[in-house]
Amino acid sequence: MIGTVISQCLNEKKAFTLPENRLNRKFSKKKRFSISSGSNDDPSDQKEKTPFGYTRKDVLLIGVGVTVLGFGLKSGLEYVGFDPLQSGNVVQLVMVLGLTIGWISTYLFRVSNKEMTYAQQLRDYENQVMEKRLEGLTEAEIEALLEQVEEEKRRLASRD
């Protein structure tokens, strides 16, 4: 095991990784602990972590895609035999309703999963507070905390 996990620490919600090789040496306050989200924190991987729709290129692709979809629907309706004016109205109605319902559904999805801006800012703040609290602990307090965590793990494992 590369590190010891301090789970359910202080506010019983966060998990922190404390590498074993750091326990037996002195280290600076800045590099004492890091909050691990389970992913690689390498800056070169930052572009890969950006979800679709958050770059200029993605926004342009979405805009071009919606425009092509609209023209495609209009051309398809005209090919089937609709009047050009009527097909334009139908496509406009379908696109506006579709985009509006789609946008509202993404908002409801973010609200239900608590992925809103305020909730994310609150999680970031809590992580920073936990990091500061861990930076303030002495090595003896860290070892005591690790022992408590290991004891609780054994107690929970024996219960199962």
Please give the pLDDT value at position 36. 46
Please give the pLDDT value at position 113. 86
The answer to whether residues 58 and 128 belong to one domain is: yes
Please give the pLDDT value at position 116. 82
The reported pTM is 0.47
**What one-letter code names the amino acid at 136?**
G
The answer to whether residues 131 and 147 belong to one domain is: no
Please give the pLDDT value at position 119. 83
What is the Cα–Cα distance from 138 to 37, expressed in whole angstroms? 24
Please give the pLDDT value at position 18. 52
Domain count of the fold of the chain: 2
Inside any domain, residue 37: no
Per the CB < 8 A criterion, the answer to whether 33 and 50 are in contact is no
Q: What residues of the chain score a pLDDT lower than 70? A: 1-48
Please give the pLDDT value at position 10. 43
Give the residue numbers spanning the domain of 17: 1-32+139-160
What is the Cα–Cα distance from 35 to 60, expressed in whole angstroms? 35
